[in-house]
Amino acid sequence: MTFQDTAIFPVLSFAEVRARLLARQETALLDVREEAPFAEAHPLWAANLPLSRLELDAWRRIPRRDTVLVLYGDHDGEDIAPRAARRLAALGYTAVHLLEGGLEGWRAAGGELFRDVNVPSKSFGELVEHERATPSLPAEELAQLIADQADVVVLDARRFDEYRTMSIPTATSVPGAELVLRARALAPDPHTRIIVNCAGRTRSIIGTQSLVNAGLPNPIAALRNGTIGWLLAGQTLDHGADRRPPEAPPAARAQAQADARAVAERAGVRPLPYPELVALDAPDRTTYRLDVRTPEEYATGHLPGFLSAPGGQLVQETDHHAPVRGARFVLDDDDGVRARMSGSWLAQMGWEVHVLEGVTADARSATGDAPVNRPPLPEVPLITAETLAARLAAAEGDPAALQVIDVNPGIDYVRGHIPGAWYAIRAQLPAALKAVPRARHYVVTCGRGILARLAAADLIALLGQEAEKEAAVSVLEGGNAAWVAAGQPLESGETRLAVPRTDRYRRPYEGTDAPRAAMQAYLDWEFGLVDQLARDGTHHFRVI
């Protein structure tokens, strides 16, 4: 009988999963909890795929339906992995397994557990610095160089939006994959010092080592501990900066292409002539086809079937883009630099990587965002923003008449939500209903009404199981965006939390108000990752 018929799933032990990872057999080890508990403890190669978002994310992140999936997850004493397994089976996945004993079984069997998010990439960055002695400069020395107006350029390797939030004074935004392509235009004099920074350590290390590997003649160093180190040293950050690099002149571009090709060859990246792309397809292999240019370039024109994954973030967040360990990558750009440099790091992380060659401009015929890849949304009753506003006004003072439940990410709920709305996490609706007053009508909403449809279907089923709780359930058509477009007001803050905001882990380096103690603790954790890698032993990392 099928999984769908029995709802009973086979179990894989810690030893069996570890053996698959060591043999590089395609495996997706999935933590189906929300991001905050995931960040507290998980195996090295576990990818976070919350139960709340399975239908929205699974087909995109795990494209092959017969991939071996291994699930675990516990919430408030309930093993939610079987719920996730049933949902994945309904989505067409045919090799769904449960991890024997869940996370505690992994721990009890001697499995190493890691904290934080994007751990494979962060631990790899620490290993790179450990093995290559990547040069770095303390914040105090960089501050003095800037004050002295020395011949130095600071390149911020993060996403542009992160750079805009807070940056080192004088820094220019050059996201990681752009560094080798753009650095010569910003520092044409080989005597100019180049300092690469990020928020913490990983992108600084990888960015700096990219320039070193590419053979730039300049003195190059990472800003030690990034913006965290800058703040801990008592320095002041800029906010709202918008400096971007110029286009690389032809000679610098040609040199960058030659340098990137040499680095990619050393790392084991495989060139793939574009006409041979189709031949690479195989029913028993997962292939992630990614365009590593900027989102703006991707939207202007990209290869059909390729997803946008700017190279710096791809290397930083590999577990998000490719939760199937043992899969392979095909990367594309239009300059011969960014895909090769991004691919060089992925190859060193143990992935099979191919970079397209000979792609003509007219082949990049797809424009805009990639097509949505998810199952049809459930049919649920809809309510317009105008009608909801009128009903809320009529129900004022009568909580039993109407309640609004917002399943938006918690950070977005805090920024702004419909006045009176309750925050809830889709997978935790049973717990949320204990806090939300019983009502004759519930309206579910989110950013644009997508996740709300799934949550509303869950809510209808949940209420239908208890006759005394039968009530009407609707979805705000167009979600909170439609509410705002209709001119309706928002309130902000944690006004009504039906469940704790565990859907997102607050990064210690995030924003401008992170506690200094948390920043230092984060750095201390990163310093210990090399030892954890050695104890885990499944990484297959190879630093060139």
Res 393 pLDDT > 50: yes
Res 3 pLDDT > 50: no
* 167 and 203 share one domain: yes
Question: What backbone phi and psi angles, to 5 degrees, belong to 304?
Answer: -55, 140
Q: What is the pLDDT of residues 174-227, one digit of tens each?
A: 999 999 999 999 999 999 999 999 998 999 999 999 999 999 999 999 999 999
CA distance 324 to 66: 12
Distance of alpha carbon 506 from the chain centroid: 13
**E strand or H helix that includes residue 130:** helix 119-132
Number of domains in the chain: 4
What pLDDT shows up at residue 392?
96
CA distance 341 to 176: 9
| 523: confidence class by pLDDT, cuts 50, 70, 90 | confident
Q: Domain with 307 in it: what CATH number?
A: 3.40.250.10
Within 8 A by CB and 6+ apart from 207, the residues are 155, 157, 176, 179, 196, 198, 222, 312
Does 220 reside within a domain?
yes
Q: What is the pLDDT of residues 255-285, one digit of tens each?
A: 999 999 999 999 999 999 999 999 888 888 9
What pLDDT shows up at residue 528?
84
Does 308 reside within a domain?
yes
Q: What is the pLDDT of residues 119-178, one digit of tens each?
A: 999 999 999 999 999 999 999 999 999 999 999 999 999 999 999 999 999 999 999 999
Res 55 pLDDT > 50: yes
C-beta neighbour count of 408 within 10 angstroms: 23
* 183 and 205 share one domain: yes
CA distance 451 to 405: 12
Closest C-alpha to 418, from 484, 341, 363, 350 = 484
* 336 and 389 share one domain: no
Does 317 reside within a domain?
yes
Pairing of strands 74-75, 78-79: antiparallel
Domain enclosing residue 113, as ranges: 3-117
Question: What backbone phi and psi angles, to 5 degrees, belong to 515?
Answer: -65, 140
Burial class from Cβ neighbours inside 10 Å (0-12, 13-18, 19+) for residue 339 reads buried
What pLDDT shows up at residue 5?
36
CA distance 293 to 297: 6
What pLDDT shows up at residue 469?
57
Res 2 pLDDT > 90: no
Listed residues 190, 216, 243: the one ending a domain: 243
| 6: confidence class by pLDDT, cuts 50, 70, 90 | very low
Q: What is the pLDDT of residues 201-211, one digit of tens each?
A: 999 999 999 99
Distance of alpha carbon 142 from the chain centroid: 30
Pairing of strands 152-156, 193-197: parallel
What pLDDT shows up at residue 510?
64
Q: What is the pLDDT of residues 319-375, one digit of tens each?
A: 999 999 999 999 999 999 999 999 999 999 999 999 999 999 999 999 999 999 999
* 238 and 315 share one domain: no
* 101 and 85 share one domain: yes
Within 8 A by CB and 6+ apart from 474, the residues are 380, 381, 382, 383, 441, 442, 443, 444, 456
* 443 and 459 share one domain: yes
